[in-house]
Amino acid sequence: MNNDGHKGRPINSFRIRQNTMADVEVKSSILTLVSFWILGLCNNFGYVTASLNSTLEYKRECNHLSTGVILLADIIPGLLIKTFSPFFALYINRRLSLCISLTIASFITVARANTELVAAAGVALTSMASGLGESTLLSYMINYERSVITSWSSGTGAAGILGALTYAGLTGVFHLSPSMTMYLMLSVPFLMAVSFWVLLEHPKKDQISTMPSDCPDFSTNSQSLSNKISYIPSLLKFMIPLGLVYFFEYLINQGLFELVYFEKIWLTHSEQYRWYQVIYQLGVFISRTSVNIFPIEKIWILTILQGLNVVYFLIETLYSFTPNIYIIFAMIGFEGLLGGGAYANSYHNIMKKVPKERQEFSMAMTSLSDSIEICQYHENLQVFNNYVL
């Protein structure tokens, strides 16, 4: 049978998929780039605000057990989603519908939470939504030019800043309750839906097999389960450096930041900590936005530099040798630059170096690396606190 646009026959669909993945990409128009920026923003925005709401509420009660439960709910569900989603077919409409539904459910659950368990459930839903959205949209980007990686990465970087500022503004400046704030956040999944189904230019349905969501055809999946598993070792060169960068920066942000402070300056201890987070997020945003200008192929260099940052901040917590807070600000900005640069450049390199037919799986699988290392951090947290600090 020839490639005349006729549908429904597996062998033809498979042939169309092969030809398309080799030759067809959606051009990166301004609207496409803006759409992916919004998608990146929305995917991480809810994750930031829901987690922030739940963590702050239970930290106010000085309940370390509750905070630990929230942190686990923040990580484990997303890790599970990222672990298994690369092995399933990319039915993009179904996945995005599920992602948006989970986000809506998470906001409502967090808004109505009156116990630790309900709050943790809401955060878990947010984690699932964010993990599914990231894994799915990264895989879908292979149908576009590499410049969409910069737009997506920039949007995810902006989510950290805008999410925290929006939450702080609504609760602090406008004095809205945390519950009302979360209800207002329901506009975020709506914006995500508009960006994907209205604004974004999609590949034509007769060109690729990832677009249709109503007619599963497993014979079009060019890679079997065993084939995908056997390819994972080839991805370790992307996953390990990226994962270690996340491990190191999580160690700094969650384990050391609160111990780095200056007495008798114009900022209180809590204000210093908040500025650390803002500067870190700014660094992440800048580096995730500039991958097209400053592409980096050797991610392991960023890993080594981030490891040296850990050493610096660890020595600072023990000996307080830094003469003023501005040096700390600079080091934190540098930390954010390294973390954001590792994220954006890892996926940029995959789209550049990995064979086209392997990119969909590779993009999704590599997104797992950060979650694994963050879980590893939490496993080692008690040992770190007891024997190092």
Q: Is 252 among the domain residues?
A: yes
How much is the pTM? 0.83
> Could you write out the DSSP letters of every residue in 315-360?
HHHHH---S-HHHHHHHHHHHHHHHHHHHHHHHHHHHHHS-HHHHH
| Cα 313 to Cα 310: distance, rounded to the nearest angstrom | 5
Same domain as 111, residue 240? no
Q: Give yes or no: residues 249 and 361 share one domain.
A: yes
> Dmax of the chain from CA atoms?
79
Give the chain's mean pLDDT. Answer: 83
Tell me the per-residue pLDDT of 323-375, one tens digit each, with 9 for 90 and over: 999 999 999 999 999 999 999 999 999 999 999 999 999 999 999 987 775 66
Domain co-membership, 210 together with 337 = no
Please tell me whether residues 253 and 357 are part of one structural domain: yes
From 187, 221, 255, give the residue that closes a domain: 221
| Type of residue at 224 | S
Number of folded domains that form the chain: 2
Task: Pick the last residue of a domain from 221, 247, 275.
Answer: 221
- Position 164 scores a pLDDT of 81
Q: Are residues 216 and 326 in the same domain?
A: no
Q: Do residues 279 and 189 both lie within one domain? A: no
Residue 84 sits in the same domain as residue 201? yes
Q: Give residue-wise pLDDT tens across range 228-273.
A: 999 999 999 999 999 999 999 988 987 888 889 899 899 888 788 8
Q: What is the pLDDT of residues 324-334, one digit of tens each?
A: 999 999 999 99
Residue 95: give the domain boundaries. Answer: 26-221
* 375 φ/ψ sector (left φ>0, alpha ψ -120 to 50, else beta): alpha
* In a shared domain, residues 169 and 258: no
Based on the fold, state whether residues 346 and 203 are members of the same structural domain: no
Query: Does residue 20 form part of some domain?
Result: no
Domain membership of residue 38 (yes or no) is: yes
pLDDT tens for 142-172 read: 999 999 999 999 999 999 889 888 888 888 8
Q: 353-374 in b/e burial notation, b at 16+ Cβ within 10 A?
A: ebeeebbbbbbbbbbbbbbbbb
- Residue 10 maps to a domain: no
